[in-house]
Amino acid sequence: MMSATLRTWRSCSGWAGCPQAWIAPPATRELRESGRHRAKLVALRSNLKCQVHAVLAGCGVPVAMSDLFGMGGQGLLERVVLPPAFRARLTSARRVIETLDFEIEVFTDPAAGRLRGHRGYTAIQVIPGVGAVLGAVFLAEIGDVHRFPGPGQSTSWAGLSPEHHEPDTEVHRGRITKQGSTLVRWAAVEAVQRISTHHRLGRLRDQIGCRRGRDIGVVAAARELLTLVFHGLRDGRIRCPHRTSA
């Protein structure tokens, strides 16, 4: 006689129509590994840059330029007079940042080269804010886009859908779930923050942001952008990159 445990396992292993887990093929897993390592390197570099800003702020040094690590900023870092301990910390951080710049570049070019002939990868770069790097992140992390019935499911998988509560007869929507792919969620938010206000995604972000707060506007635009990414990866083209849904 078949045990209850075995019957339960068989009924949930796909034999009774239950959805099965998707396992990324080796090529996709390799691309993911490179992209995730690069993202960690970028996060380390961002942390060190914040430390450099903190050193200057602690010593009362004003920073007039928008990019402290551009040409003008590098000149300031060279000539600024700091106490020995602060100068040593700043110099050490700059050395590590330079090393990280090299390592980040090492993990950037090969991924773009491997994906150059991919129709979906080329298509999603039409979307404002999505370049070669973020496009590779979307392609690697999403993988086979056909496993999602529609863009709503891919948005929910990325953790960008609001929580949904129906305790009685009313529907309550809360904050986004943040349950899913952290890297895809980060890439979508990063992309929409680069978009100009002249683009419809930028206007959507700013209009909702004026009414409900900047963060909510960014998340709403990120959901719309991820919808465009879904169609670009699925169809190999984006018909209306400047159009937003109601």
pLDDT of residue 69: 92
Distance, in Å, from the CA atom of 230 to the CA atom of 103, rounded to the nearest integer, reads 30
For residue 116, the 8-state DSSP code is: T
Distance, in Å, from the CA atom of 219 to the CA atom of 29, rounded to the nearest integer, reads 27
* Cα distance between the two ends of the chain: 56
- State whether the Cα torsion 113-114-115-116 is positive or negative: positive
Distance, in Å, from the CA atom of 5 to the CA atom of 153, rounded to the nearest integer, reads 31
Give the Cα-Cα-Cα angle 220, 222, 224 (nearest 5 degrees): 75
| 84-138 tens-digit pLDDT | 999 999 999 999 999 999 999 888 876 667 787 889 999 999 999 998 889 999 9
Q: Which of 104, 93, 106, 92 is nearest to 51 (CA)?
A: 93
Distance, in Å, from the CA atom of 226 to the CA atom of 124, rounded to the nearest integer, reads 10
Q: What is the mean pLDDT of residues 1-23?
A: 50
* Structure tokens belonging to residue 193: 């923050």
The contacts of residue 1 (CB under 8 Å, 6+ apart) are none
* Structure tokens belonging to residue 190: 């990063």
* Structure tokens belonging to residue 241: 């990159």
| 17-31 tens-digit pLDDT | 445 677 888 888 888
Instruction: Give me the residues paired with residue 165 across strands.
Output: 172
Q: In angstroms, what CA-CA distances link 181 with 154, 155, 200? A: 10, 10, 26
pLDDT of residue 162: 75
Instruction: Give me the residues paired with residue 155 across strands.
Output: none
